[in-house]
Structure 1
Amino acid sequence: MAVDDDLATPRLVDGAAEDVERAAEAALRPKDLSEFVGQKVVREQLELVLHAAMGRGRPPDHVLLSGPPGLGKTTLAMIVAAELGSPIRVTSGPAIQHAGDLAAVLSSLEEGEVLFLDEIHRIARPAEELLYVAMEDFRVDVVVGKGAGANAISLSLPPFTVVGATTRAGLLPAPLRDRFGFVGHMDFYDDGELEQVLVRSARLLGVELVTEAATEIASRSRGTPRIANRLLRRVRDWAQVRGDGTLDLVAARRALEVYEVDHLGLDRLDRSVLEALCRRFGGGPVGLSTLAVAVGEEPETVETVAEPFLVREGLVGRTPRGRVATPRAWEHLGLAPPAGGPTLFD
């Protein structure tokens, strides 16, 4: 199956490019557990939960999937519905700001349907309390009217399964977390697993991927399948326009150079943060807001997009006084750290 998702097309403006990117990612998603690469422990546990429930002829327990973005939480939610042979209703925490929003969704569910709540940690508190009862007792209480004449009507719901996804499990209140019968934490992929993802995706895209190129792309993908597939499509673009169509090692390196992804997987924003930290602030410590202003980004963007990977790779440290560059960061930039510079213990 080939997917036409050339993001370089000038006609794609505003949200159109994002829509194409999402469509391309969706086309590469595995359709069942047997196709899903990586996350061996979570996959095996989830398979047991689903097959046991199907054997009993009942919907499975509610499922919570946690972990960093891009590891396959949405894909697994889709697979849960596919394995059960059930329809899936998709929404997200930010979209549910009132209890009435959630009540409308819950009251329209069919028996055995899967309700996928992405970013479940961002659901509004009134809706969250309504969800408690719905998940545990398959009931929703709707208030009709206002003031002294208001009445609470209890509506029974058919059995259903909630699949929640969160990148910040610590923000989930304990009462909500306890209502999930299965909690799976998803970890970053190793390079070997990412190579398997890339080989499968290349086959679906209808392109020839040389083993050395798969290894190169995997090593720069930050342990994340979503990034691996995105880089694969960019290498495909380069091979199509400037190469002979084959995704070999030369095409991979040249394409990733064009898109400013270095051998560690750092992109423009990552390097901007390191450059500012080392060149402008002498390695720190420096506050998040000051660092964000220096690179022209919002503090939330630096904290959620760049910082987790930089910390995980040992390039940046977080201290009570602010962010500091590690010796590895100076080495990566080809700079000499100042004598007596800050450390993680300052």
Structure 2
Amino acid sequence: MTLAVYQGDLLAQTRQWTNLHDEELRRRAVQAAGEKDVDALVSLTTAYLAHQGGSGVLTSPRTVEAYALGTRQFALYAREQAVNLLRPHRHDAQNYVNHMLAAGRKPAGVQLKVAAASCLYRALRWAGATDADPFRDAKVPKDRTPGLVKRPPYSEDDLADVLEKADIHAKFLLFLTAHAGLRISEALALEWDDLDEGARRLHVRSGKGRKGRVVAMSTSLSRAARHYRGLYGPGGPDHTDGKRTTPGERVFRYADMTTARYHVQKAFKQAGVRFRGFHPGRKYAGTRLLQQIKDFGRVAAHLGHESVDTTRKGYAQLAADDLKDDLAGW
């Protein structure tokens, strides 16, 4: 049984397993594990994630893809190392962890792969194929390097150089990530009605965890938004195909993050700046805002973080000598 990685209709993919009678579900899961059928194991894990996972069929495409890739990697490892998936040896899970660490993977990346492999075993138990839970006691060492050190924000000069070279679409997208602090998925999901340049705010309707929030615009972002709307907004000329847009349509012509990355990378290349993804833009927003207002809670709200610890650990930090003015005169 073969099923492609998430292609939009997650419910239909899930039903390929949930429509089976219990005995047939168990038989197919046992067969997939016994034969180490990678595609079938990915399919089973995806079905479990969408049926029993915390977000169910509302699980984001990126999460589905990450778990599918992690499951595929573990299934291929199990095939190469002759791991018995239904009756794993007590050292098999830790051996997999150590294998990835020895290959140079960072602890954070290993933790994500372990999460996917653990999900595969939850799926196998859900299907009645095994009672095994080999990753329950697997240990992954903590990475003590701060997130801002491992993946620092873009610098002020780098962003200025890139913005100078970027076309209108890429420039507006960069302002949304580096000033509004939006995730790339949030930016690409924006509709025209979500932008309020007059009030200098925008509405993120479905952030991480399907949580909405209102985000303040910087002066530069609101100006960029007005200019962008004048060119591509409802009632204005659409320079891509000569047609006019209508209210409710998406703001960006980019269909997905891969396309957006392709176009934004061109601006970085022309500016001579290494493109490190969209997240360093969010980190720029967090770091600059914290240095200005010195309030982790407000920065966390701006970035859409549920926990201030997330902001503190990976997105913003105060300068080492931040207290020097407060201590002056002691």
Both proteins in one fold, TM over 0.5: no
Considering fraction of residues, name the structure with more strand.
Answer: 1
Considering fraction of residues, name the structure with more helix.
Answer: 2
User: TM-score, structure 1 length as denominator?
Assistant: 0.24
User: TM-score, structure 2 length as denominator?
Assistant: 0.25
